[in-house]
Structure 1
Amino acid sequence: MNDTLSPLVSIIICVYNGEKYLERCLQSAMSQSYKNIEIIVVNDGSMDNTPVIIENYVKLDCRIIVINKQNGGTSEARRIGVNRARGKYIQYLDCDDVLMSNAIGCLVNRAEETQADVVVAPFFFCEDGGRKESDSMEFEQMSGIEYLKCILCSRAYWAMWTKFHLRSLYDEGIERLGISFGEDVALSTQILVRSGKVVSINTPILDYYVYSSSVSHDLGERAYLDFNVYVRWFDDYIERNGLHEEFARELALFHIKNTQARLHWKKVKDVNKEMNRLMIELGDYPEFWKLLSRREKKIVTTYRLSSLLGYWRLYYYNWKNKL
């Protein structure tokens, strides 16, 4: 494809205190074989050497646009980046990710030839010196709603950087939750519900580095608060858009997994509040029973006998640190 006749792509990188990895990320964006790009770097109030690194790279490549702002989290940083974007397509990139040199070219070619709203792609997990390709779904096309169901069934990923998509999908406005943990859930959901056509490529587009200190691995209290925000929002969004009946099975699975997450957070009182719905949904979809651990099955079985006894068992497991 002739770059002078090809669509502009906006690569949006939101960064907070990313001095360890940002240069590698920027170099991978600058080195794309597809040249018609703009690289929008949103510095979300970094307190380390990140601003200096960005300014040095701005001098090297006129396609880099820097936006400095006070720290406000991923959601706000992405909003500002998208508002500045002039491209036909958006590709998000975390500051510690590395794009393959042909990534944008492959994504643009597939999007243009199919006139798709979203192109999804596999990637490489990089952890402890190892590199493993992600599980990927190869398909010709499906609707955004169908793909959202695949995510809820753990056949695909929430991460926004797996979804190369049209800038015009933001034209109706995006609901921003002001969270970091789970931001991809809210944004992916809205983008996909608006997408009539999703297609895939089988070429991995980036290296995704897994660090124990990353936001997605943070199971602290702040993450739990964000978790509650996006779980409530998701249920409400599906209901407001008239999708509750269509997503009944996937919502049941979503609720079961969320209850399991609350167990890992050791939020006994919150788990107790979810048990009635959990038992109803396991009754409606008994195939999900196999997803529970042996201890989780014991808790549910006890609740079915008596909610008081079930809560006692739950409290006991938590006291013994067995959740």
Structure 2
Amino acid sequence: MKQLITIIVPIYKAEKYLDKCIESLVNQTYTNIEIILVNDGSPDNCFSICEKWKRIDDRIVVLNKENGGQSDARNAGMKIAKGKYFIFVDSDDYVSKDYVGDLFDILKANKADIAVGKMEKFLEGSSLESRQNDREYILTFNSTEAIQDFLYEKHFVTSVTAKIYKRELFDGIEFPKGKKYEDLYVLYKIVSKCNTVVYGNKPVYYYMIRRDSTIGTLDPVKNKDFLLAAKEVHTYVLNYCYTIRKAADFKLFQAAIEMFVHLPKKTNNYEQKSYKEELWEYIIKYRLQIVQDKNCRFKYRILALVSFLGQTILSRFFQFASRR
């Protein structure tokens, strides 16, 4: 008997994309699945779309709740889930027909706690370019190696999507309600419980970059969660797995420079000035290390190098590069 796998989909203002997402889930080659669609108080037609698909496929469970954010929706889904394994899918994304089966197969074959698949990104309004598959391979990590990998974003990123998890990894862990960058707050805690994390480079998850995505609408004045999450992970690494300190340094630098370049150029607000100074101190502290660390993403090595020319040049360079 195949194991029951629960797929949890938090849904909010996604009516344009939701049919494609759900269709990709109901057509999985691995059929023993439970699909929990959590309508998080969406003001559009998402609930009607969910109900339509529920009538089509009896493996679908629709949970309709007041808006509480993506974290709250995922937590609500986990509370009613029946599966021994969890998979998270965002409502504006879609997956390959072998998504569940491929992840479960490599999880079991490698006796892993988490299996990770390759994500392919595409911009909203554009079609996904067909790419020739690389030679398929599998990589295995212990918990410390896996944390290092996702902090550097080498093979897999800090999103909880494109992964399958043993249910027990979430015992005592919930997504933080009201937080953005909730994945970063949670993923290191889950991975730290693992003996083995496995990665397969076969593309299985298709991730759309929306124009109103978290980074695209980043307001560092109103929301400091990226920096706070990075600081929390940094503290954990220093205390429990110091050997990967440079990866945690990179994540803290990444958060600081992303916040910094999105701040208003001028402000008379003391709190904002103080925050800007704090971010700049992190940039100065780690920038030479980032420039020299070949594990860091190229974009941030360049930004670190440009920061030596001063705050104004850094901000102008970022704006110029973002328009290209």
> TM above 0.5, one fold?
yes
- Supply the AA of the counterpart residue of 2:10: C
8 Å contact kept, 2:220–2:263 = no
TM-superposed CA distance for 1:139, in Å, is: 4.0
In 1: Cα distance, 2:222 partner to 2:204 partner = 28
Q: Specify the alignment match of 2:38 in structure 1.
A: 42
Counterparts of 1:19-34 in structure 2, within 5 Å, are: 19-34=15-30
In 2: Cα distance, 1:158 partner to 1:136 partner = 24
Q: Specify the alignment match of 2:307 in structure 1.
A: 296
1:257-315: CA deviation from partner (whole Å, max 9, x where unpaired): 2221122212673342244454444566761495435541122xxxxxxxxxxxxxx36
- Supply the AA of the counterpart residue of 1:185: L
Structure ID, larger Rg? 1
8 Å contact kept, 2:75–2:174 = no
In 2: Cα distance, 1:217 partner to 1:290 partner = 21
Change (3 A) 1:51 1:33: same
**Structure 1 gaps, min length 5:** 300-313
Provide the alpha-carbon RMSD of the alignment: 3.0
In 1: Cα distance, 2:222 partner to 2:47 partner = 26
**Structure 2 gaps, min length 5:** 266-272, 294-299
Change (3 A) 1:293 1:21: same
Q: Specify the alignment match of 1:248 in structure 2.
A: 245
Q: 1:287 aligns with which of 286, 292, 313?
A: 292
- Supply the AA of the counterpart residue of 2:152: C
Change (3 A) 1:282 1:21: closer
In 2: Cα distance, 1:321 partner to 1:205 partner = 32
Q: What secondary structure does 2:68 align onto?
A: coil
Q: Specify the alignment match of 1:112 in structure 2.
A: 108
In 2: Cα distance, 1:88 partner to 1:125 partner = 29
1:145-188: CA deviation from partner (whole Å, max 9, x where unpaired): 211101222313112112211111012x1153324531111222
Q: What secondary structure does 2:139 align onto?
A: coil
Change (3 A) 1:214 1:266: closer
**Most deviating of 107-116 and 22-31:** 107-116
Q: 2:119 aligns with which of 102, 118, 123?
A: 123
Q: Percent identity?
A: 25
Q: 1:258 aligns with which of 255, 258, 264?
A: 255
TM-superposed CA distance for 1:201, in Å, is: 2.0
TM-superposed CA distance for 1:246, in Å, is: 2.8
The answer to whether structure 1 residue 197 and structure 2 residue 202 are counterparts is: no
TM-score (normalizing by structure 1): 0.82
8 Å contact kept, 1:126–1:132 = no
Q: Specify the alignment match of 1:169 in structure 2.
A: 169
In 1: Cα distance, 2:248 partner to 2:165 partner = 25
8 Å contact kept, 2:257–2:283 = no
TM-superposed CA distance for 1:211, in Å, is: 1.9
